[in-house]
């Protein structure tokens, strides 16, 4: 018992001594897990000024009067349904990532906004403009006209490990800047598990709620490892399953914004694939389920040029394992256009390696986009020839060809056309190029029939011009 008392006295003395030493020195960012267990306050004090609140507004028009243009009822009900501007407001968070005022946030927070205000936690406010916004990645880079701003350093998200302590900083529910703690719960989250089949995420159990979108997920050194973007929930509140876009992708967005790009340019694979499950692995002769089996290749695909064939299983990209198509695209995207990337694939049970050039989707053959004029049937309809660039922009199937609707216009939308519809015939006229559409519609009028494809289904649209 005496030994136990002595040990307790020694531990108490050490703790007391540690407290005295800390009280004599200024707070600093914790350097270890042992130190972080004492307090998050120094870490938050250093990182929080770079996390901002974002207030975005968008002006939309209310519905038009059904009597507009009517010679009798139009005058009688002139104020009924009069188009009036209505303001849509959104609230989110953002992170300053450079001292000269570059800010990153989510596309769904700022992507369609007409007016964006960035508010720092010291109450300074700045007008911001969107440099790059990408709905597919749900990222946007903003710029504010300011210098010597507080900012967060980006960490290489490939070095993040499951179990690391993290903090989520943002503005949930508009209550003001809030900090929550947790750990990295998982890596390489993609597909239906996240509710976003095209994304690639870091998973955390740090509580993330509405308004946290665009905020920072930081490590215990105060470096940003991701941008908080979504939660998995049935109730609308946080259930401890949140997702952050890795900092590696943020870095590529920032580089392109600095280069003056106005839209995010991602490498084109020109391929489709699917994850390898247990059943597929047996048929492919693999020792275990892994990788992405290539199911289709475009003739101009850089993977095909590098020697990869349909049926090959890609297991590594840039030295990192990949198990979903979203992971493949992520690894290619963070590498950037104009570079090449090492790929490891398995063919007939043998591992092989190759280098793949990272290129933009070719705009070849020329798209020859056509927009119908005011005197045309379906004025405002815009169509183009399908090529790899158009396929990537509209998310069409890989080897689709023909003439596609880029923008249906008000009249085209009214008769049932949508972006991505492939027009095959107008009445008896076969549509082979964008320039065929206008003349065919004029000759078919007044009773027009359009044969089109949508999502692999054939549809017939009939209307009177």
Q: How far apart are CA 228 and CA 209, in angstroms?
A: 10
Q: Is residue 213 flagged as an active site residue?
A: yes
Q: How far apart are CA 37 and CA 188, in angstroms?
A: 27
Quick one: DSSP state of residue 208?
Answer: -
Nearest to 417 by CA among 450, 443, 392, 370: 450
Q: How far apart are CA 332 and CA 389, in angstroms?
A: 17
Selecting among 108, 134, 190, 421, the annotated active-site residue is: 108
**In this structure, what are the phi and psi dihedrals at residue 369, rounded to the nearest 5 degrees?**
-60, 140
Query: Is there a contact between 60 and 88 (Cβ–Cβ < 8 Å)?
Result: yes
Query: Is there a contact between 99 and 146 (Cβ–Cβ < 8 Å)?
Result: no
Q: Is residue 138 flagged as an active site residue?
A: yes
Q: Tokens for 8?
A: 């307790």
Nearest to 401 by CA among 302, 299, 305: 299
Q: Tokens for 372?
A: 């119908």
Query: Is there a contact between 58 and 85 (Cβ–Cβ < 8 Å)?
Result: no
Quick one: DSSP state of residue 154?
Answer: B
Q: Is residue 298 flagged as an active site residue?
A: no
> From residue 87, how far is each of 114, 133, 263 by CA, in Å?
10, 21, 26
Answer positive or negative: Cα dihedral of 329, 332, 338, 340: negative
Nearest to 281 by CA among 189, 346, 326, 352: 346
- Give, for 185, the enclosing helix (H) or strand (E): strand 178-191
Look at residue 316 and give its three-state secondary structure: strand
Q: How far apart are CA 195 and CA 213, in angstroms?
A: 15
User: What do you get for the CA distance between the two ends of the chain, in Å?
Assistant: 99
374-379 long-range contacts (CB < 8 A, ≥24 apart) are 376/438, 376/441, 376/442, 377/438, 377/441, 377/442, 377/444, 377/445, 377/448, 377/465, 378/408, 378/409, 378/411, 378/412, 378/415, 378/417, 378/441, 378/465, 379/409, 379/411
Selecting among 134, 138, 312, 436, the annotated active-site residue is: 138
Q: How far apart are CA 228 and CA 218, in angstroms?
A: 10
| β-pair partners for 258 | none
The residue count for the chain:
465
| DSSP codes joined into one string, 412-425 | HHHHT--TTPEEEE
Selecting among 213, 230, 301, 333, the annotated active-site residue is: 213
Catalytic residues: 108, 138, 213
């Amino acid at each position: 018992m005496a030994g136990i008392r002595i040990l307790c006295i020694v531990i108490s003395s050490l703790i007391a001594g540690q407290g005295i030493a800390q009280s004599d020195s200024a707070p600093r960012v914790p350097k270890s897990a042992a130190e972080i267990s004492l307090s998050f306050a120094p870490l938050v004090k250093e990182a929080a000024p770079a996390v901002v609140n974002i207030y975005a507004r968008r002006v939309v028009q209310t519905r038009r009067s059904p009597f507009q243009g009517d010679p009798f009822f139009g005058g009688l009900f002139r104020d009924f349904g009069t188009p009036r501007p209505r303001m849509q407001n959104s609230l989110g968070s953002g992170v300053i990532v450079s001292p000269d005022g570059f800010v990153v946030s989510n596309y769904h927070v700022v992507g369609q906004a007409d007016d964006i205000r960035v508010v720092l936690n010291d109450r300074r406010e700045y007008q911001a403009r969107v440099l790059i916004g990408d709905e597919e990645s749900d990222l946007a880079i903003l710029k504010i006209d300011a210098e010597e701003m507080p900012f967060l350093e980006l960490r290489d998200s490939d070095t993040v490990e499951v179990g690391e302590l993290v903090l989520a900083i943002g503005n949930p529910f508009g209550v003001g800047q809030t900090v929550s703690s947790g750990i990295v719960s998982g890596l390489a989250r993609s597909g239906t598990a996240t509710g976003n089949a095209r994304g690639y995420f870091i998973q955390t159990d740090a509580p993330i709620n509405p308004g946290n979108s665009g905020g920072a997920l930081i490590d215990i050194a105060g470096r940003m490892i991701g941008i908080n973007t979504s939660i998995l929930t049935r109730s609308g509140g946080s259930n401890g399953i949140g997702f952050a876009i890795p900092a590696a992708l943020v870095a590529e967005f920032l580089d392109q914004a600095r280069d003056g790009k106005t839209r995010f340019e991602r490498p084109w694979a020109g391929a489709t694939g699917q994850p390898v499950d247990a059943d597929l692995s047996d048929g492919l002769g693999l020792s275990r389920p892994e990788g992405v089996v290539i199911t289709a290749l475009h003739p101009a695909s850089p993977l095909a040029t590098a020697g990869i064939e349909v049926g090959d299983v890609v297991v590594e990209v840039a030295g990192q394992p990949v198990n979903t198509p979203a992971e493949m695209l992520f690894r290619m995207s963070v590498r950037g256009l104009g570079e090449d990337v090492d790929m490891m694939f398995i063919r007939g049970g043998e591992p092989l390696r190759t280098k793949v050039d990272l290129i933009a989707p070719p705009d070849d053959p020329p798209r020859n986009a056509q927009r119908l004029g005011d005197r045309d049937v379906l004025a405002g309809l815009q169509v183009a020839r399908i090529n790899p660039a158009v396929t990537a922009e509209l998310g069409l199937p890989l080897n689709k060809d023909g003439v596609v609707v880029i923008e249906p216009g008000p009249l085209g939308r009214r008769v049932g056309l949508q972006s991505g519809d492939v027009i095959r015939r107008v009445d008896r006229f076969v549509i082979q190029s964008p320039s065929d559409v206008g003349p065919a519609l004029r000759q078919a009028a007044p009773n027009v029939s359009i044969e089109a494809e949508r999502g692999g289904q054939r549809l017939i649209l009939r209307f009177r011009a």
